[in-house]
Structure 1
Amino acid sequence: MKLDVLGLLGACSYALDCVEAELVHVTDKHAKRVAYMSVCMAEQMGIQGESLQDLTAGALLHDNALTQYIQEELHNDIASAIGSAIPLELGIHCAAGEKNMKDIPSHTDIKNVILYHHENADGSGPFGKKWTEVPVFARIIHLCDLLDQVCCSDSFDSDTWQKVEAFLQEITGSIADEECIEAFRHAFSEQHFLSLGEKDVETRLWNRVPRTKQDLSFEQIKALAKFFARIVDYKSPFTSTHSIGVAADAEKLSRFMGFDEETMQKMYLAGALHDIGKVAIGNKILEKPGRLTDDEFAVMKHHAAYTYSILSEIDDFEEICDWAAFHHERLDGTGYPFGKTAAELNTQERIMACVDIYQALTESRPYKQGMPHEKAYGILNDMVEKGWLDGEIASQVDACFDQKMTDIIHEEKQLGE
């Protein structure tokens, strides 16, 4: 299956920015600005073509392990980390991010780019590597990440450029190597740098970096999907593994219903991405153990619209975007975010609505034990009777996921053979 991988990573970077904005207060479009600066610098150093695509991927995902770090190293305490100073152990964060990047398809060797993207030129970084021991992509991303965090804000003006000049003077030879500093100076005048504050930075990034589709195997698609799902699910331990559970259910049910291989792959990817919009919802709402107030629920409902907005930026992704984003729509038009009716919802969108509910009911979470199949199907059937869900698809869920029914079908097939 051919996918706009860089477009997917761009969508993922938006999700990461939402998380970082909440947890460590980076400014909007942080990852895309780092990517744009990195590409401009790389071009000055003679880097072109597919190498630019791989550099862009690394820059967009340089902090991909932030929520993973917080959950695993800070004892799952994301909620208390919000608004406080996070004691980020850079080595652990970089090592986890490097491991995750193995799931991202690349054209060139990107080994150690994320692992060493916090190394300082003089060897004072987390792994003690001097700039001559660090891949050039890592050195570029390090400088651009620092510049965006230290010098950028919601407004870009002449004071911002003065801050850049002072910062570069301070870090040359110690934090950043002279080769990278020189490449930055050749790439950016004051006017060019201040233009990073404009809203079109993403458009300008994609004008410089070609987004060619890559032909991926289903195993590569699954690895990519799991990468995205981890970002969503790590943000909220209450729903940990939910996205991959929905992905697996969507694939299994599609296979059971006889859909072709490409449709099953698309359903898996849609399932993994269906809740990506939740990264834009604050953890105080996501993590609330009790019933949400009407106002809180109104905010929570926005996540499906955010999913649609995030995924709609990916080239030729319309089907998967709709299948993922419409999982809370109802046949009677009372669902959200768009109030779609039965006439506007196709089979895949109806499947996603069913498997999302079924997975949520049957999976265990910190505050509840997962329901048995019979009880979960009973709830689905109640929703069918209310006119919310497709009765035929609910019946297929029953047949597909009821182990007793699965065994009977398997025996019948063996007898038929």
Structure 2
Amino acid sequence: MSTHHPHALLGADLRSVIYALSDALDLVGIDDLAHGKRVGIMAAECLRSQGVSDEETRFIFDLGLLHDIGVSSTVTHGHLVKEFDWESSQKHCLTGYELLRDFAPLADMAQPVRLHHTHWADLVQRDHDRQVLLQANLIYLVDRVDALSAPHYADGSLLMHTERIRGEISARSGSFFAPELVDLFLEASRSESFWLNLEPRSIQTYLNDMRTRGRRHVMNIGELKQLATIFSRIVDAKSPFTAEHSLGVARLARWLGERCDLPVARCEQLEIAGLLHDIGKLRVPDEILDKPAKLDERERKVMNAHSFETYQILKPIPGFDEIALWAAYHHESPGGDGYPFRVSAERLCLEARILRVADIFQAMAQDRPYRTGLPAEKVAAFMQELVDQGRVDADLVALTLADLPAAMAAAKPAG
């Protein structure tokens, strides 16, 4: 741990966070949870067949994991895996570019992400470094291979269709894809192992192998918050109903942590937990998240699984044990009737209780497409009602309401 950053979270290295957050991006597929991983594996295998350096191979693998960082909509994901080329494909590329370009540890991925749905015939007209163009186009090529392969994963018939898929890619050499990359792909994909790597058990083995390679980059707290903010923006962009919710929860949770006299490092962790608390919502279909009416029983069950998904994503990151629990418990109630773990009051630590209060308060205060945010006095009355029902921590609500203007300001980020 760097001596310059005393509040760094021990073990929160960049690769571990990339891998965990690629799981979050893959959730958007709902039923197909490995698109980014398969793209990364195929891109890495294409380079490996040419004896490219381990460093370049790792970069292209990580680029594959995160290439769809601009996708949070399940509808957009459906287009990406069901159609070879579609009209609005550039939108998520631009979003991904904007998310990555100012985050120094991953900034080299920004341009390839921006260009990863641009045809080679158009790319060669661009004034970009050739290596960037080839990185972007290789991701595009194997991304389309995955789209062509997708119908055959479930029934195990992929090996029966590989020649047709190879033919589809070959036919687009020089137009969609760089001829040299098509040749690379055709050479690498001759072997059955190229395709067998895409099976779920093989994917896990491949990931475990890649995880052990390369230098560790332990992020300082500033980098960690910046990366958490990037992913909060992906979650919040999923629905106009949730825009800026995560940011508001993070700010309010930190504000409350400070008023509880928690140490600075604890407040930093609380802020990160707030930014990431809803990351599991990426698996909730758009139509459920965007439904202005009351959810039916099936929809409610789907929605209620999101905080368990958050736990599954964050728990494997070294140093995130507590953050994962706080974030996952944000719908747990002191009465033991929350979800999805139904933990009792004595198991709800202060940080988890803070996140719950911050989550509910922010949702009430925030403007939503179907209603403006409630005024301060109505938010206060609502929170007091929950206290009376034993559903939130009474002391934390009292602390929040003691300085209502400041709480409202924290909950509604300026924008």
* TM-score (structure 1 length as normaliser): 0.82
Q: Which amino acid aligns with 1:192?
A: F
Displacement of 1:45 in angstroms is 4.1
Q: How does 1:167-246 map to 2 (within 5 A)?
A: 167-185=168-186, 187-188=188-189, 189-209=191-211, 210=213, 213-246=216-249
Shift in CA distance, 294/17, structure 1 to aligned 2, threshold 3 Å: same
Displacement of 1:49 in angstroms is 4.8
- Residues 178-214 of structure 1 show CA distances to partners (whole Å, capped at 9, x for unaligned) of 4433443554412331341233413412312437653
Shift in CA distance, 42/389, structure 1 to aligned 2, threshold 3 Å: same
Q: How big is the alpha-carbon RMSD for the aligned residues of Structure 1 and Structure 2?
A: 3.4
Of the structure 1 ranges 276-285 and 211-220, higher mean CA displacement relative to structure 2 is found in: 211-220
- Residues 307-343 of structure 1 show CA distances to partners (whole Å, capped at 9, x for unaligned) of 1222223333211111111100011211110010012
Of the structure 1 ranges 211-220 and 354-363, higher mean CA displacement relative to structure 2 is found in: 211-220
Aligned pair partner of 1:36 in 38, 41, 52? 41
What residue number does 1:7 align with? 16
Shift in CA distance, 52/268, structure 1 to aligned 2, threshold 3 Å: farther
Q: Secondary structure at the match of 1:196?
A: coil
What residue number does 2:5 align with? none
Gaps of 5+ in 1: 71-76, 407-417
Between the aligned partners of 1:304 and 1:91, the Cα distance in structure 2 is 31
Q: Which amino acid aligns with 2:297?
A: D
Displacement of 1:347 in angstroms is 0.9
Between the aligned partners of 1:130 and 1:403, the Cα distance in structure 2 is 47
Of the structure 1 ranges 98-107 and 275-284, higher mean CA displacement relative to structure 2 is found in: 98-107
Task: Please say if residues 54 and 108 of structure 1, whose CA atoms lie closer than 8 Å, have aligned partners that are also in contact.
Answer: no
Between the aligned partners of 2:407 and 2:360, the Cα distance in structure 1 is 21
Between the aligned partners of 1:128 and 1:196, the Cα distance in structure 2 is 33
Displacement of 1:50 in angstroms is 4.8
Aligned pair partner of 1:58 in 51, 60, 63? 63
Q: Which amino acid aligns with 2:308?
A: A
Between the aligned partners of 2:351 and 2:113, the Cα distance in structure 1 is 37
Q: Which amino acid aligns with 1:250?
A: A
Shift in CA distance, 12/401, structure 1 to aligned 2, threshold 3 Å: farther
Task: Please say if residues 16 and 318 of structure 2, whose CA atoms lie closer than 8 Å, have aligned partners that are also in contact.
Answer: yes
What residue number does 2:320 align with? 317
* TM-score (structure 2 length as normaliser): 0.82
Q: How does 1:202-351 map to 2 (within 5 A)?
A: 202-209=204-211, 210=213, 213-351=216-354
Gaps of 5+ in 2: 1-7, 410-415
Q: Which amino acid aligns with 2:87?
A: L
What residue number does 1:98 align with? 97
Q: How does 1:18-33 map to 2 (within 5 A)?
A: 18-19=27-28, 21=29, 27-33=32-38
What residue number does 1:414 align with? none
Shift in CA distance, 119/402, structure 1 to aligned 2, threshold 3 Å: closer
Of the structure 1 ranges 269-278 and 383-392, higher mean CA displacement relative to structure 2 is found in: 383-392
Q: Which amino acid aligns with 1:264?
A: C
Of the structure 1 ranges 348-357 and 220-229, higher mean CA displacement relative to structure 2 is found in: 220-229
Aligned pair partner of 1:16 in 8, 15, 25? 25
Task: Please say if residues 331 and 345 of structure 1, whose CA atoms lie closer than 8 Å, have aligned partners that are also in contact.
Answer: yes
- Residues 198-247 of structure 1 show CA distances to partners (whole Å, capped at 9, x for unaligned) of 33413412312437653334443332122111221111111211111111
Aligned pair partner of 2:384 in 377, 381, 384? 381
Displacement of 1:143 in angstroms is 1.8
What residue number does 2:412 align with? none
Task: Please say if residues 98 and 110 of structure 2, whose CA atoms lie closer than 8 Å, have aligned partners that are also in contact.
Answer: no
